[in-house]
Amino acid sequence: MYVASSYLIEHNNNPKRYIDELFHYGVYVKLMNFEEEVRAHRDLDDFLARASIILDETAPALNNVLKRMLHHVGQDSHTAEPGCHFEEVMSMLFTDAGAQEINAHLVSETIQGVTATATGVQYQQSWLCILCNVKSLQRRHVCISRLERPQNWGENCCEVRYVILILAPLKMKSTKTAMELGRTFGTLFSDISFRQKLLETKTQEEFKEALVFQRHQLTAANQQPAAVEEEEEEEEETDPHSHKPLKWKDFFRPGRGIYEDLCRRLPLYSSDFTDGVVGSNKTVLKYMTTAIFLYIAILLPAIAFGSLNDERTRGEIDVRKTIIGQSIGGLIYSLFAGSPLVIPLTTAPLAIFISVIRGLCDDYDLDFPAFYACIGLWNSLFLILGGIFNVSLLMKLFKRSTEEVIALFISIAFVVDALKGTIKNHSDDYIPHRQVR
């Protein structure tokens, strides 16, 4: 992720170019490291002491938004600038497009978030940071305006919701320039989840608290003591998502994976059942709609595969038994899993497996229900042993191709069964016409 600082160049031949052309003439700088650059902390803390925040600005045009922000800064008693006329600053924010007969102005200097991908450069279009160096200023000023609704100010500014105006004296230290201050706020606003939190704030105090919290988050993300890092490295040894290679000793720590899962889940066990029903996250309607959707999503496969099992087991496992068994297993599993919305589905591989078991019972004259129950008990034993000895770590060795191969096998198996049924029905029902003499 980068932030782009753009300096507009005059276009004498085409004064009607949109404001987005200012982003085609820029240099890219990396996001600020809040751990190494202490100036970022001081910049944000200094801004919060003399904050100029405008919430739910209704002006649709960029000119009007900036006029409102400059007026707000000029009227603030904490930012008194006796030697500066903020009306004149407005003319410094824009540069003439080059045509005298057309009053067209473009922003002189801005910062905007960009992400370099294989297909090109993608702009973060929801925020825009505008810089200006003013000779008559005595100190730096920052004003943030949150627009009431997204505004379309050009191709790369189609949904601007935040405008950050930074004013700085012309002669400043290299660590205190408008560019460095813009990097600080550009780093903060480059996080989409942070921008969403700012949309939910109702007052200026909540807006400030969100800024402080984000600054602490960015700082704490890179500040980890050596002891904590060593502890995390030790925990990652059994983490299936870590990129470290597997070692034999990972499988000879009985119960370690189960213990770590319990440590992670027990503090959140009760909230898994109460979230969405009580507390600040109360969304009963969403909770009910999700439950109804999952009920339908689980019931339909149960009916489909239950019918298939009924046909292949000759009534030993029918639709009714499939639904009852799936309901009992789902309730028990959801209680132990700590989540009432766990989805236990009857899958295609299980249907094929049941068909194979039925065939073995027919070949060796075995009691199908007893044999099926024994297989379930043995599978339970293997799963328990796998959990104790961390066998699930082997999943990190499997790639997406493994899943695709299994899906291909299931598809081929069902297609072959369908073809067999079609051929059998055709052979049973087709009677060739006899020639009549």
Q: What is the pLDDT of residues 225-266, one digit of tens each?
A: 444 455 555 544 445 545 567 777 777 888 888 888 888 888
The confidence score (pLDDT) of residue 23 equals 40
Computed from CA positions of residues 23, 27, 33, 39, in that sequence, does the dihedral angle turn out positive or negative? negative
Task: Supply φ then ψ for residue 95, to 5 degrees.
Answer: -125, 145
Q: How would you label 124-149 residue by residue, b for 16+ Cβ within 10 Å and e otherwise?
A: bbbbbbbbbbbeebeebbbbbbbbee
Q: Render pLDDT for 328-379 as a digit per residue (tens, 0 to 9).
A: 888 888 888 766 666 677 888 888 899 899 999 999 999 999 999 999 999 9
SS3 content of the chain, % helix, strand, coil (to 5): 55, 15, 30
The confidence score (pLDDT) of residue 35 equals 52
| Alpha helices (runs of H) in 365-398, residue ranges in sequence order | 368-388
First to last CA, the chain: 87
Whether the Cβ atoms of residue 166 and residue 182 lie closer than 8 Å to each other: yes
The confidence score (pLDDT) of residue 365 equals 93
Whether the Cβ atoms of residue 283 and residue 276 lie closer than 8 Å to each other: yes
What is the C-alpha to C-alpha distance for residues 356 and 362, in angstroms, rounded to an integer?
Answer: 10
How many degrees, rounded to 5, is the angle at CA 116 between CA 110 and CA 121?
65
Q: At a CB cut-off of 8 Å and minimum separation 6, what does 210 contact?
A: 194, 197, 198, 201
Computed from CA positions of residues 366, 367, 369, 373, in that sequence, does the dihedral angle turn out positive or negative? negative
278, β-bridge pairs: 275
The band of 100, judged by pLDDT with boundaries at 50, 70 and 90, is: very low
Distances (CA, A) of 305 to 148, 167, 353: 51, 67, 12
Q: Tokens for 7, please give them.
A: 């300096």
Higher-confidence residue: 355 or 24? 355
Instruction: State the chain's mean pLDDT as an integer.
Output: 76
Most confident of 177-191, 318-332, 340-354, 392-406: 318-332
The 3-state DSSP class for residue 115 equals strand
The band of 319, judged by pLDDT with boundaries at 50, 70 and 90, is: very high
**pLDDT of 10 above 50:** no
Does the predicted TM-score (pTM) go above 0.85? no
Burial (0-12, 13-18, 19+ Cβ within 10 Å), 275: middle
What is the C-alpha to C-alpha distance for residues 180 and 294, in angstroms, rounded to an integer?
Answer: 50
The band of 13, judged by pLDDT with boundaries at 50, 70 and 90, is: very low
The confidence score (pLDDT) of residue 407 equals 84
What is the C-alpha to C-alpha distance for residues 164 and 182, in angstroms, rounded to an integer?
Answer: 8
Whether the Cβ atoms of residue 164 and residue 146 lie closer than 8 Å to each other: no
DSSP for 285-339? HHHHHHHHHHHHHHHHHHHHHHHHHHHHTTTSS-HHHHHHHHHHHHHHHHHHHT-
The confidence score (pLDDT) of residue 362 equals 92
- Checking DSSP bridges between strand 160-169 and strand 127-134, what pairing results, if any? parallel
Q: Tokens for 76, please give them.
A: 């603030």
What is the C-alpha to C-alpha distance for residues 64 and 176, in angstroms, rounded to an integer?
Answer: 28
Whether the Cβ atoms of residue 244 and residue 237 lie closer than 8 Å to each other: yes
121, β-bridge pairs: 116
